[in-house]
Amino acid sequence: MVTLGNKQGPARDPRTGHLLPGHTANPGGRPGRKAFRRELRKLIGEHGEVAAVGILDIAEGRTCIEQLVRKPYPHEDVASVALIPKVDVYPSIRERLEAYEFLYEQLNGKATVDVEVQHEHNVSVRDYSKLSDAELAALEAALAKAELPSGEVVEGEVVE
């Protein structure tokens, strides 16, 4: 770390002022987030073991959620809502597949997606038969003047 007055800042290149590799401009993140991360680690384990086990339970269909058979009416009181029967709802096939996909991505990284980009060139067709001999000669002279030597690069394309 480089000392800036009485504050410490991230290490920077003295010539350019850019951050040196391995250093961030905001070490530790936002203030107050350290306590949040510490409590979260207590809940899910240092490496998220508890969360991974929970997601695996969803993926294998071992977890169920208790839901009311119907939604309570707006005018119902708490006592009558407590009498509404409950059923166990297991994860759907889609939810289970998404849980497996999430676990796979955490273990192996996200799969790459190949995107093919096609670029269309605007080619206009011209009818040079409408030009006179003098106009054709002037056009050929102008084109010859603008011609580039072979192998020169113009806007990312090699002229051959």
Residue-wise pLDDT for 78-110, tens only, equals 888 889 899 988 988 999 999 888 888 877 777
Instruction: For 52-70, write each residue's pLDDT tens digit.
Output: 888 888 888 888 888 888 8
Give the number of other Cβ atoms within 10 Å of residue 58's Cβ.
20
5's tokens: 């007055």
- Rounded Cα distance between 38 and 81, Å, is 38
